[in-house]
Structure formats: structure tokens, C-alpha cells
Homo-oligomer: A and B are copies of this chain.
Amino acid sequence: MSSEETFDVIVVGAGCLGVASAFYLQKNSPDKRILLIDRTLAAGQANTAMSAAAVRNMFASSTNQLLTDTSIKYFEYVQKELGYDLFFEKTGYLWLLSDEQFNHESVKTWMERMDKSGISYKVYNKKELKEMIPGLNVDFSGDEEAELMNLQEVSYGLFGADCGVLDPTRLVEYYFEEFKKMSHVKPRFGVEVEKLLLEADPKLDLPGEPYVWQKKKVNGVITNKGTLRADVVVLAVGAWTNQLLDPIGIDSMTKGKKRQLFVIHAEDKKELLELLDVKGFNELNCIPFTILPSAGVYFRPQLQERGFWIGCGDKVGRAYKYIQTDEDMVPESAYYENNMYPVLSKYFPAFQSTRPVNSWAGGYNYSPDRIPFVYLECGVLVVNGASGSGIMKADALGRIADAVYRKEAEAELFGGKKIPSSTLSIKDRNVEVESVII
């Protein structure tokens, strides 16, 4: 490998957003030489692999609704029509809400906007929920612990049948393999970008360039394997974005947080198996992906493993991180026990005395409005800030990244709907703030 190879495009990051972007860029610019690189040793091995990998179109902003709804429909198409199994299962999403939450202005807006966008959902009341999920505790009266823990009693369920779970590794493989079929350049792994190559445009070969009075452009990346040049660098590196954008003076406006998942097996416990096999919500006859009313705790059913993945949307008290560190990849053993378990076992006593058999951690990258960014500035095409829902937006974001690259005014999403290519930019951003994040 020479130290100054040149490509048309370098896509940095082979996570879900990187591979989807690479796929659509190559598909629509078949002659371009597009190099995909990642610092890990395979595609989708960083935070994409750490995700709960649930997908939903139940967002409060019409932007996120559009990005997810079209992406999910594409995933269905890939699985059903192209026959590529993504392990996409329509478990549905079930938000358990207290009376106060259900009647909050933000939830009203959320439901109104879903109605308007044609996102289907159903409201269950307490009685219905109790009948469908016998193991759900909807009565905390007289429970002093629950009161001390600020737990809100379940009064309603908001259920979306078109939501579900998938295997993120399979999804990444799909885009990656399809990209490789078209690509002129073999993707490279174990290539770590140390910095973006910001240069004066045109270069005057003066010491200390670029100066403030010069135009500037990113002309490639400096990596642990040498300098790689390209007209455009696509940056799809999630929680590591600041490390690359800050030094060249572009504010990503995103910041990461550590998130953890803990695996509970149901096999040895009758009550947990009954919970897993709850009927009436979906054709799989399983409990949906379920969000509790308190403390940000949620779980996803894992049917192959016959168990649950338990997660928690940490808010105040969990540090924001400028960039992801190794520590953010290490789960905390006491976290399930002290934080999730007390909440989980109050709402679902079936979890009493459970201990995780596995756990992992990763980085979750927030944007200020919880809507992703896609924009091209100074030669860098940033695809970032998916705020915990990158997998479920991957297809739409890949298509938008491609439209931005080709300077198309609009991107066509799966199913034919169109979105202005500047919608997710910083400068011409035109989005509603997302209120339903987990």
C-alpha cells in the first residue's frame, strides 16, 4: 500500500450507517472508486453490534417517522423479497405509561403526529394489559418501596405492531456484501483514522497552511496505515465523531453516553417463560419490546435465546462523553442489580431473583434535537447523531447521504417518498424536536 493512494470517496466506519451509505453511494455512482475502512477487524463490530437492535416507526417527529418507517419497510423487503434473512421479527413495541404520562401534552402530540403520518398504533387500557400480560404488576398501592423508587403505576399501553427486532450483524452484512459486489476497491479493516487531512484549497505550499484567508477542504484521512486521499470523506463513526471533527473546527453537535445491555435467560423459570410467550400482541406469540413507565428501563424479547435483553436509558447521573473510551465498552456488574433489577422486578415479578448470564456496553450518540445529521461540509460528508436509533434509520440515512453526495435536491426513500437532502443538515435543518427517545 503506497502512503498516498487516491480514491473518489472514503467511507470511514463500517457500522450500520457507514455500510448503508457506501452501498447507496456505489449503487448510484457505479464508476466511482469508493473505499470503506474501519478500525475494527470486520463490519458492524463496534457500537452497531452493541445495540438492542430494535426497530420502530413510533416516533414523535415526522422526520424520524419517515426515516424509520421507510427503512423498516426496506428491511421487510430485503427479508421477504430478496430472501436475505435479517432475523427481523415483528414483535411490536409496547410503551407502558402511567395515567399522568398518557395524558401529558407530549404524548398527545406524539399520537397526533403518528395519526397524521399514518403510523399505526393501538392504545390498551390497564384492564386489557392485565389480561394480556398476567405477569404485569399494575398495582403499587401500599408498596412503600415502589413509592420510594418513584415508580409510576401502569395505566395504559401504547402498542405499535409494525415495530420489532432484528439482527444488526445480518443487516450490516447485507449492505456490506452488496456494496462489495459493486465496489472497485476492497474494503480495509484495522485501519484507524488518526485525523482528517484538512488542506488549503488551492495549496500554496506555505509553512503553516491552511491560513484563515484560505479556502479549506478535507482531502482525505491520515491513518495508522498511511495517508489516503479522496474528494469526499464520509464520516460515519458515531460516538467517535468529535475526535475527528473537532480538530478541524467543525462542531458535530453530538455527544455520547455509555449504554449497557444485560441478558436474562427464561429457560429455568416458568414465570419468565410465560412472560416471554405472552399471546395476543403479534403472530410470534411473544411479549413485545417493552418500555417501562419509570427509570428508563426496557426489555426486548430474544426468541432464539429464549430470554430477554434488559436495557436502560440513562439520563442525569450518567456522564456524557466527548468521545468514546475503552471504559464505555465494559458493562458494570452492579448496574443490573442496583439500577435495572429493582425496577424491572416491581413491574414484572417474574424477574425476581434473576441474574444476567451475559452483558455488554457501547456508546450512544445524541444530537441536540434527537434527529440525525447528514451534511457535506468542506469535503466531509457527516452521517451521525442518530441518537440510539441508527439501525432503524440506516436505509434512509444511506440514501440521503448518497443524495447529498450527488448534490441532488431530494433523496428518494424506499417506497418512493422524498425528502429534501438538506433536511438533516446543520445549516438548513428543518426538523421537529424528537421527544420519544429511549
Contact = CB atoms under 8 A, between A and B. Distances in A.
Interface in A72-111: none
A294 interface: yes
A213 B343 contact: yes
Given A334-B208, A338-B208, A213 B249 contact: no
Contact of A213 (B246, B295, B316): B295
A213 B151 contact: yes
A96 to B, nearest CB: 15
A338 B211 contact: yes
Interface stretch (A222-230, A250-258, A268-276): A250-258
A322 B246 contact: yes
Total copies of the chain: 2
Contacts of A247: 319
Nearest to A297: B212
A312 interface: yes
A316 to B, nearest CB: 5
26 contacts: A149-B214, A150-B213, A198-B316, A210-B317, A211-B338, A211-B342, A212-B296, A212-B297, A212-B314, A212-B317, A212-B340, A213-B295, A242-B320, A246-B255, A246-B320, A248-B319, A249-B257, A249-B314, A249-B316, A250-B316, A251-B255, A251-B320, A253-B368, A316-B377, A322-B322, A368-B368
Interface of A: 148-151, 198, 204, 206, 208, 210-216, 242, 245-251, 253, 255, 257, 294-297, 312, 314-322, 334, 338-340, 342-343, 366, 368, 377-378
